């Protein structure tokens, strides 16, 4: 399996602070790749670099075999990278349905397959389980539901790779389980997912492959079992094994 | 190797050449010698010092509260008048008057503004923040004009007016100017010291980044923001008192200094106090250079006054591109659904019916008033209000949907009106209207171009600068509007068999034409709101970053809406010309355009119907005057109306149309959705407020102890809802 999305030695510096240093990660289609690390490890910054919201100080981003390091965010989206945000970035004054519709209509500008945005929108609403609230303004919806709207919006642009920034925060246990099964369904359909998440049982349960980021550096890479067994990871991030089991 | 030319360098060269062109074209012939140079420097530095003080205060307020205060200079103007009252009128000693004005009245205004209004604006949308301060600006102008009638001339003496000053080479520097420069330096150093070296200042800067975090350091956010506003008012007052002897104690002149302060603030990128001072100096020196060396011909009589606006535009070209920020999203707690086509059609019909009934005298009114008789005077006024309504409705897609705050549409309409007098208006050619719209669409875009890549506030500043340039330079150019030409500029135009003109016999037809056009635009906008265009604009306004990550090209998306709005404003301008029949060069000042934006914002800038409500609001004052005579309390209400509106907006940011519309919809038996959404909204508001107000009120900003958690639970009445063990602090878990 070759990676559809990869970063190569990404460095991001904010003044004297090095947020990301030489981070190289890979995302493969058809599986969930986890990106974990303590708060402030640089996970969201790396997301921003991949989607073009943050210019890296050094390093390159490759997608589908092309160097996209200097491309505009909207061009990357049109190539097939979609994302959600850690802090909600929904279109609060549009209805849930319109949030998704706007993305589906936008897809028309580069996807000439002749799909019907309204139909795509309805399918995704159904898939994510938002049909009941589709006509409500997103600003009036609870945080957990709004998160699903964000996910649905990302799916509406028919991405090849989906970047999820803490999708389970704000969700209750049941919703988290639904989110996990949705992710499994999506990767079965061939989507590549990069997942930033704090909920360890969620990460260990859904990811097939994990990168561990600490102080901007990738300290470990491997399967969930390998990562859990890694001594450096335990010391830097997980603390002790008991924490993993407890959460 | 590819030669890399920086776009900034190209801009610098182009700007340099343009400036050089203007300088050589308008060179006044004064010889450059020691005398003129020192006179240029003495005047320029003194003027620059005053600008620097007011710009410094503006930047401090913005940097510490996140609110750009358009009323900054208007407050300074009010304080200068207060100072005049105390010294010249009451005869108090200078020092006492200064202390009362700057250390009592100014901080009092600042704290009051913070307490009543500004604190509520912290999380408000940019358009609300800006419109509230614009409303305050108009209010302070109104209050000053009411207390100190402009019919009486007033002069504020300079400090140490009777002394000779200091001889510097060939020129005399008056003590007033020397003091000005010294004070400017002291203020610069003082502000810098305050913000970076004192506990209060550091807290001030922290508050704007994270209110709650600053709270945890033990600082009281409310006192800090109050102090910021007090400081801002003090610098504004100081600048007003220093500059009034130079420019005259005239409300408009003193309030327009906001353009200067904005330009300096833009040079400072809204954050650097030293750069704000340098910006002030640059503008002061430029104006002084123009006064000493340049001779603006009759074509550019007022070009001198447009220099600050031009500098603001230039500064925007050199600002670094704004990053797409995340995490700053404001979740609006709104409940509404899309207007259905039949509802929009019904609304349009109601508007036509209302105006038609009024124009034909079918609405009963108090007899004996001219309003009731539907005189040609009133029909003309009615047409005038509808024209203003057309300008307001042109702002709906731009400000309301795309979130691009523009103060330029009145100026675009002005340019449109003037162009129409060249493009066929003088012959009654209806096709001219189309030409004007075709010119005004790219014009609207051109104004926005320098600010497209910057954050929203800069766009508002750019459009304000453009409105000033349009008034002072473009419209007044004899090739545009010949000030010596008098009489009717526009011949009656025949459209679809209707003759429209300012002619008394055509007025009813014109009014009906306007209301039908307005209703059509209203219906088109309601349909546009249901289309993918409006959806994309609103999405872009709600979250630019998220829009980009679903593939929206922000630049072209913005360009579209600017062109649409520009074309609509151009159309309104043609109607403006036809309605007036003639134009004078001073028909389109910046201060005439701002109230329109405010009026629309108060009604609800997202809703096309708000423009119609604005028309009714405009008509209501003259109508009341007709009925009630002209009682002084009504005049007072009219003058402070913008202030009331501004305060109302701080409390009801969505605008009157939204709140009344929501409540009315809830009354309709078939609008179950409206009732349900309102319930959801109230519940959600409650949920969010628990985090803020109630915790703050109890002084629980410090990390929780178990006692305080229990106390909070009792207050919130949620003890049995929450598993108590979960509320124990777990060391930074969020």
Whether chain B has a CB inside 8 Å of the CB on A93: the answer is yes
Over residues B347-359, mean pLDDT: 92
Beta-carbon separation of A91 and B327 below 8 A: no
pLDDT at A46: 94
Which chain B residues touch A78 with a CB distance below 8 Å? 551
Q: Tell me: the pLDDT tens digits for A47-82?
A: 999 999 999 999 999 999 999 999 999 999 999 999
- Please report which confidence band the pLDDT of residue B219 belongs to, taking 50, 70 and 90 as the band edges: low
- Nearest chain A Cα distance for residue B196, angstroms: 19
Position B731 scores a pLDDT of 37
In this prediction, residue B655 carries a pLDDT of: 86
Nearest residue, CB atoms, A140 vs list B335, B550, B551: B335
* Residue A3, Ramachandran bin (φ over 0: left; ψ between -120 and 50: alpha; else beta): beta
Domain positions in chain B are 25-295, 341-662, 672-727
Distance of residue A9 Cα from the nearest chain B Cα, in angstroms: 22
A15 band by pLDDT with thresholds 50, 70 and 90: confident
> Residue B663: what pLDDT?
80
Query: What integer pLDDT is reported at residue B688 of this predicted model?
Result: 60
Residues of chain B neighbouring A136 (CB-CB closer than 8 A): 677, 680
How far is B304 from chain A, CA to nearest CA, in Å?
Answer: 41
Cβ-based contacts of B542 with chain A (< 8 Å): 90-94
Q: Which residue of A has its CA nearest to B535?
A: A102
Q: Note the pLDDT of residue B212.
A: 55
Average pLDDT over residues B479-496: 80
Q: A239 in the Ramachandran plot: left (φ > 0), alpha (ψ -120 to 50) or beta? A: left
Contacts of A199 in chain B (CB under 8 A): none
pLDDT of residue B333: 59
Stretch A186-209: mean pLDDT, rounded?
Answer: 92
What is the distance between the alpha carbons of residues B470 and B411, in angstroms, rounded to a whole number? 6
Q: What is the DSSP letter of B693?
A: I
pTM above 0.90, yes or no: no
Q: Which of residues 104-123 of A touch B (CB under 8 A)?
A: 105-107, 109-110, 117
**Is-same-fold flag (B25-295; B341-662)?**
yes
Cα–Cα dist B538/B532, whole Å: 10
Per the DSSP assignment, residues forming a β-bridge with B495 are B498
Round the average pLDDT of chain B to a whole number and report it: 84
First-to-last alpha carbon distance for chain A, in angstroms, is 32
Q: What is the pLDDT of residue B365?
A: 65
- Cβ-based contacts of A141 with chain B (< 8 Å): 680
pLDDT of B343 above 60 = yes
- CA B659 to CA B146: how far, in whole Å? 32
Q: What pLDDT is recorded for position B552?
A: 94
- Confidence band (pLDDT; 50, 70, 90) for B30? confident
User: Do residues A179 and A100 touch, judged by C-beta distance below 8 A?
Assistant: no
Residue B730: Cβ within 10 Å count: 8
Mutation test of the interface with chain B: which of A140, A147, A156, choosing the one with the most B Cβ atoms within 10 A?
A140
In A31-90, the residues whose Cβ lies within 8 Å of chain B are: 48, 51-54, 72-74, 76-78, 81-83, 85-90
The top-scoring range by mean pLDDT among B296-305, B347-356, B495-504 is B347-356
**Number of helices and strands in chain A (H, E):** 10, 11
Arithmetic mean of pLDDT, B290-308: 84
Q: What is the DSSP letter of A238?
A: I
How far, in Å, CA of A53 to CA of B546, rounded?
A: 10
CA distances from B290 to A177, B25, B30, B286, B296 (A): 71, 12, 11, 6, 9
Three-class DSSP category at A194: strand
**A74·B552 Cβ contact <8 A:** yes
Between B444 and A41, where is the model more confident?
B444
Q: Do A135 and B337 touch (CB under 8 A)?
A: yes
Q: Which residue of A has its CA nearest to B403?
A: A93
Spell out which residues of chain B touch residue A90, defining contact as CB-CB under 8 Å: 329, 331, 542-543, 546
For residues A33 and A26, the answer to whether their CB atoms sit within 8 Å is: yes
pLDDT at position B273: 86
Candidates A72, A102, A107; nearest CB to B539? A102
Instruction: Out of A83, A91, A140, name the one closest to residue B549 (CB).
Output: A83
Task: Quote the percentage of chain B above a pLDDT of 90.
Answer: 40
For the ranges B69-73, B244-248, B486-490, the lowest mean pLDDT is seen at: B486-490
C-alpha–C-alpha distance, residues A134 and A148, integer Å: 11
**CA gap A179, B472 in Å, rounded:** 60
Q: What is the pLDDT of residue A160?
A: 95
Looking at CATH, the fold of the domain delimited by B25-295 is given as ABC transporter involved in vitamin B12 uptake, BtuC (1.10.3470)
Tell me which of A80, A93, A100 to substitute to probe the interface with B (most B C-beta atoms closer than 10 Å).
A93
Confidence of residue B331 (pLDDT cuts 50, 70, 90): low
Tell me the pLDDT band of B345, cut-offs 50, 70 and 90: very high
> pLDDT-derived band of residue B498, with 50, 70 and 90 as boundaries?
confident
Q: What is the pLDDT of residue B335?
A: 62
Inter-chain contact B543–A135, Cβ cutoff 8 Å?
A: no
Q: CA B682 to CA B690: how far, in whole Å?
A: 13
Contact between B535 and A103 using a beta-carbon 8 Å cutoff: no
Smallest Cβ–Cβ distance between B550 and the set A52, A94, A157 belongs to A157
List the single residue in B332, B673, B677 with the smallest CB-CB distance to A92.
B332
Are the beta carbons of B543 and A89 separated by less than 8 Å?
yes
Shortest CA distance from B679: residue in chain A: A140
Query: What local confidence, expressed as pLDDT, does residue B264 receive?
Result: 95
Mean pLDDT of B329-339: 66
Rounded Cα–Cα distance for residues A158 and B574 (Å):
46
In angstroms, rounded to a whole number, what is the distance separating the alpha carbons of residues B530 and B524? 10
pLDDT band at residue B123 under the 50/70/90 scheme: confident
Q: Do A94 and B539 touch (CB under 8 A)?
A: yes
Q: A90 CA to chain B: closest CA distance, Å?
A: 7
Interchain CB distance below 8 Å, B333 and A140: yes
Question: Cβ B326–A154 below 8 Å, yes or no?
Answer: no
Mean of the pLDDT values across residues B685-703? 54
Residues of B with CB under 8 A from a CB of A: 323-324, 326-327, 329-338, 532, 535-536, 538-539, 541-543, 545-554, 606, 673, 677, 680-681, 684
User: From B330, which residue of chain A is nearest by alpha-carbon distance?
Assistant: A92
Query: Is residue B5 predicted with pLDDT exceeding 90?
Result: no
pLDDT of amino acid B682: 73
Q: How confident is the model at residue B426 (pLDDT cuts 50, 70, 90)?
A: confident
- So what's the pLDDT on residue A194? 96
Contacts of B551 in chain A (CB under 8 A): 74, 77-78, 103, 106-107, 109-110, 157
3 state SS of B161: coil
Listed range (B62-76, B411-425, B625-639) with the worst mean pLDDT: B625-639
Domains, chain A, with CATH or none? 1-26+46-72 (no CATH), 80-191 (3.40.50.300)
Higher-pLDDT residue of B719, B599: B599
Q: Which alpha helices (H) appear in B219-306, and where do they start and end?
A: 221-247, 251-255, 257-267, 273-293
Tell me which of A216 and B299 has the higher pLDDT. Answer: A216
- Partners of B546 on chain A (C-beta within 8 Å) are 85, 89-91, 150, 153
Spatial separation of the C-alpha atoms in residues A206 and B153, rounded to whole Å: 79
Q: Is the pLDDT of residue B374 over 70?
A: no
Nearest CA in chain A to B333: A139
pLDDT of residue B205: 72
B536 contacts in A (CB within 8 Å)?
102, 105-106
The answer to whether B548 contacts A137, with C-beta atoms less than 8 Å apart, is no
Residue B691, pLDDT score? 53
Kindly report the CATH number that applies to the domain delimited by B341-662: 1.10.3470
């Amino acid at each position: 399996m070759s990676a559809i999305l990869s970063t190569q030695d990404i460095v991001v510096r904010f003044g004297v602070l090095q947020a990301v240093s030489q981070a190289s990660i890979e995302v493969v289609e058809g599986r969930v790749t986890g990106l974990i690390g303590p708060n402030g490890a640089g996970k969201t910054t790396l997301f921003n670099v991949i989607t073009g919201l943050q210019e890296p100080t050094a390093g390159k981003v490759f997608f589908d075999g092309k160097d996209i390091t200097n491309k505009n965010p909207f061009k990357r989206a049109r190539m097939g990278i979609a994302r959600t945000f850690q802090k909600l970035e929904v279109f609060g004054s549009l209805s849930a349905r319109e949030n998704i519709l706007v993305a589906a209509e936008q897809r028309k500008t580069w996807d000439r397959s002749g799909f019907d945005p309204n139909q795509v929108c309805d399918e995704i609403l159904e898939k994510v389980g938002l049909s009941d609230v589709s006509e409500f303004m997103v600003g009036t919806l609870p945080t957990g539901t709004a998160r699903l709207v964000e996910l649905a919006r990302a799916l509406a642009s028919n991405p090849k790779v989906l970047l999820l920034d803490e999708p389970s925060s704000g969700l209750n246990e049941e919703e988290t389980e639904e989110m996990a099964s949705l992710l499994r369904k999506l990767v079965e359909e061939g989507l590549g997912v990069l997942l930033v998440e704090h909920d360890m049982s969620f990460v260990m349960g859904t990811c097939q492959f994990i990168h561990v980021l600490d102080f901007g550096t990738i300290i470990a890479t491997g399967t969930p079992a390998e990562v859990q067994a890694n001594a450096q990871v335990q010391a830097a991030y997980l603390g002790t094994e008991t924490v993993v089991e407890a959460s | 190797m590819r030669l890399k030319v920086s776009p900034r360098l190209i801009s610098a060269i182009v700007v340099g050449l343009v400036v050089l062109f203007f300088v050589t074209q308008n060179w006044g012939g004064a010889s450059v010698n020691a005398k003129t140079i020192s006179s240029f420097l003495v005047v320029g530095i003194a003027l620059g010092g005053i600008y620097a003080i007011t710009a410094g205060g503006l930047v401090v307020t913005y940097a510490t509260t996140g609110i750009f205060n358009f009323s900054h200079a208007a407050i300074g103007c009010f304080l200068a008048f207060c100072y005049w009252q105390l010294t010249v009128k009451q005869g108090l000693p200078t020092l006492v008057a200064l202390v009362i004005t700057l250390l009592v009245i100014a901080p009092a205004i600042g704290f009051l503004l913070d307490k009543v209004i500004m604190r509520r604006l912290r999380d408000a949308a940019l358009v609300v923040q800006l419109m509230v301060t614009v409303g305050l600006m108009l209010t302070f102008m109104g209050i000053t004009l009411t207390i100190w009638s402009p019919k009486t001339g007033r002069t504020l003496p300079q400090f140490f007016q009777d002394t000779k000053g200091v001889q510097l080479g060939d020129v005399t520097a008056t003590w007033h100017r020397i003091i000005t420069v010294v004070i400017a330096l002291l203020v610069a150093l003082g502000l810098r010291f305050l913000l970076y070296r004192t506990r209060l200042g550091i807290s001030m800067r922290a508050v704007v980044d994270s209110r709650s975090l600053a709270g945890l350091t033990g600082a009281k956010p409310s006192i800090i923001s109050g102090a910021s506003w007090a400081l801002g008012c003090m610098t504004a007052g100081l600048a007003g008192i220093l500059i009034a002897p130079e420019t005259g104690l005239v409300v408009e002149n003193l309030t327009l200094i906001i353009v200067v302060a904005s330009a300096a603030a833009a040079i400072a990128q809204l954050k650097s106090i030293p750069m704000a001072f340098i910006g002030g100096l640059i503008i002061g020196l430029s104006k002084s250079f123009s006064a000493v060396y340049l001779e603006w011909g009759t074509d550019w009589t007022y070009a001198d006054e447009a220099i600050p606006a031009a500098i603001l535009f230039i500064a925007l070209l050199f600002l670094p591109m704004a990053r797409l920020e995340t995490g700053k999203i404001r979740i609006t707690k709104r409940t509404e659904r899309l207007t259905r086509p039949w509802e929009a059609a019904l609304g349009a019909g109601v508007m036509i019916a209302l105006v038609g009934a009024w124009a034909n005298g079918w609405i009963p009114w108090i007899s004996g008033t001219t309003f009731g008789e539907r005189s040609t005077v009133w029909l003309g006024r009615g047409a005038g209000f509808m024209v203003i309504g057309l300008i307001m409705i042109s702002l709906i897609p731009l400000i309301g949907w795309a979130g691009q705050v523009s103060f330029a549409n009145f100026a675009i309409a002005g340019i449109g009106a003037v162009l129409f007098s060249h493009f066929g208006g003088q012959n009654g050619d209806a096709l001219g209207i189309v030409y004007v719209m075709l010119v005004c669409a790219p014009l609207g875009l051109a104004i926005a171009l320098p600010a497209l890549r910057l954050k929203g506030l800069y766009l508002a500043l750019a459009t304000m600068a453009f409105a000033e340039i349009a008034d002072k330079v473009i419209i007044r150019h004899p090739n545009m509007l010949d000030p010596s030409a008098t009489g009717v500029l526009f011949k009656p135009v025949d459209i679809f068999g209707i003759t429209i003109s300012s002619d008394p016999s055509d007025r009813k037809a014109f009014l009906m034409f306007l209301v039908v056009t307005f209703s059509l635009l209203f219906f088109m906008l309601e349909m546009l709101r249901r289309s993918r265009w409006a959806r994309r604009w609103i999405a872009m306004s709600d979250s630019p970053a998220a829009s980009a990550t679903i593939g929206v090209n922000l630049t072209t998306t913005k360009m579209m809406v600017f062109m649409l709005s520009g074309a609509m404003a151009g159309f309104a301008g043609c109607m403006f010309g036809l309605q007036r029949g003639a134009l004078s060069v001073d028909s389109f000042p910046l201060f005439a355009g701002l109230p329109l934006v405010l009026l629309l914002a108060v009604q609800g800038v997202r809703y096309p119907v708000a423009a119609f409500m604005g028309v009714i609001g405009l008509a209501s004052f003259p109508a009341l005057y007709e009925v009630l005579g002209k009682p002084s309390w009504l005049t007072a209400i009219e003058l402070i109306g913008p202030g009331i509106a501004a305060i109302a907006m701080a409390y009801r940011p969505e605008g009157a149309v939204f709140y009344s519309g929501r409540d009315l919809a809830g009354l309709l038996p078939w609008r179950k959705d409206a009732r349900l959404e309102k319930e959801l909204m109230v519940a959600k508001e409650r949920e969010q407020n628990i985090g803020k107000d109630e915790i703050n009120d109890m002084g629980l900003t410090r990390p929780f102890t178990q006692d305080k958690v229990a106390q909070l639970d009792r207050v919130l009445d949620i003890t049995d809802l929450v598993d108590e063990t979960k509320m124990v602090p777990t060391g930074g878990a969020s």
